[in-house]
Amino acid sequence: MTAWKRAGREPRELIHGWRDQLQKVAAGRGDRVEMRVNRFWIAFRSEQQKRAFAEIRPTRHRIEVFILPERRSLTDPAGIARPAPRTQGWNWFRTKFVVVGNGHGRAALSLIRQSYESPAHKAHRARRSRSGGAHQVRLQVN
């Protein structure tokens, strides 16, 4: 069973509405937004940018969303965005938020749109050593 089929009616309506709105934004840029459905998640993907910009995990009554930009670079008047734990969101989605009911539907769409419009980052978000690389040995090559 896919994530789409497991989702409740209200989450499906919200996700469908987000996709329609994002499709309009993408059309203005000569792009197209795909919705890819998997067993556990739904991805919004830009055809032109060749990347997923949002990962959505719906349940019967709520929607968990992971987006690319860091929380501090987002405009979030509703205050729903939180930093994504490194163990979730494939380690490249930096922000997470949860939508329960229709209350934050517009705020969620605004955040997803900001993720779509964010520039593609080439750098991988990897853990950095606190010792500044002291665990590595430098050998002199003659």
| Per-residue model confidence as pLDDT tens digits over 61-115 | 999 999 988 888 898 888 898 888 876 655 678 899 999 876 788 999 999 999 9
Greater confidence, 136 or 25? 25
| pLDDT > 90 in the chain, percent | 56
Q: Where are the alpha helices (DSSP H) in the chain?
A: 3-6, 9-28, 105-117
Q: Is 34 inside any structural domain?
A: yes
Q: How many domains does the chain have?
A: 1
CATH number of the CATH domain containing 98: 3.90.1150
Q: Is 139 inside any structural domain?
A: no
- Determine the Cα–Cα distance for residues 98 and 41; give it in Å rounded to an integer: 14
Domain holding 75, by residue range, is: 3-117
Highest mean pLDDT among 13-22, 63-72, 102-111, 118-127: 13-22
Q: Is 112 inside any structural domain?
A: yes
Q: What is the pLDDT of residue 100?
A: 86
Q: Is 16 inside any structural domain?
A: yes
- Rounded to 5 degrees, φ, ψ at 58 are -85, 150
- Determine the Cα–Cα distance for residues 108 and 126; give it in Å rounded to an integer: 27
Residue 141: pLDDT band (50, 70, 90) is low
Q: Is 138 inside any structural domain?
A: no
Q: Is 64 inside any structural domain?
A: yes
pTM attached to this predicted model: 0.79
* pLDDT value at 140 more than 80: no
Q: Which amino acid would we find at residue 64? A: E
Q: Is 10 inside any structural domain?
A: yes
